[in-house]
Amino acid sequence: MEFFRISRVIPFMRHALVFNVISAVTFVLAVLFLGHVVSWNGESDLLSIGASIAMVIAALAYFLSTVKGGKG
């Protein structure tokens, strides 16, 4: 017996899981970077950590901009 069975496709829900996962990943990366900033001892390089996280977030933002949410 299947609970929560949807018999037809709901257009706006097609990519909702992808959007939620990407939002969660972006939030986790931001929290990790903030943790590095707060615990920074002055010796480690924050620029390389920040640049790598920024590149990942930019790639995810580009992916979100190319995905057609409910139109296709």
In this structure, which amino acid lies at residue 64?
A: L
pLDDT digit string (tens) for 13-70?
667 777 888 889 999 999 999 998 899 888 888 899 899 999 999 998 888 888 755 4
Q: How much is the pTM?
A: 0.66
CA dihedral 37, 43, 49, 54 (to 10 degrees): 60
- Residue whose tokens read 């899981």: 17
Residue 15 φ/ψ region, left for φ over 0, alpha for ψ in the -120 to 50 degree band, beta for the rest: alpha
Q: What is the rounded CA–CA span in Å between residue 57 and residue 42?
A: 25
So what's the pLDDT on residue 55? 93
Q: What is the rounded CA–CA span in Å between residue 55 and residue 70?
A: 27
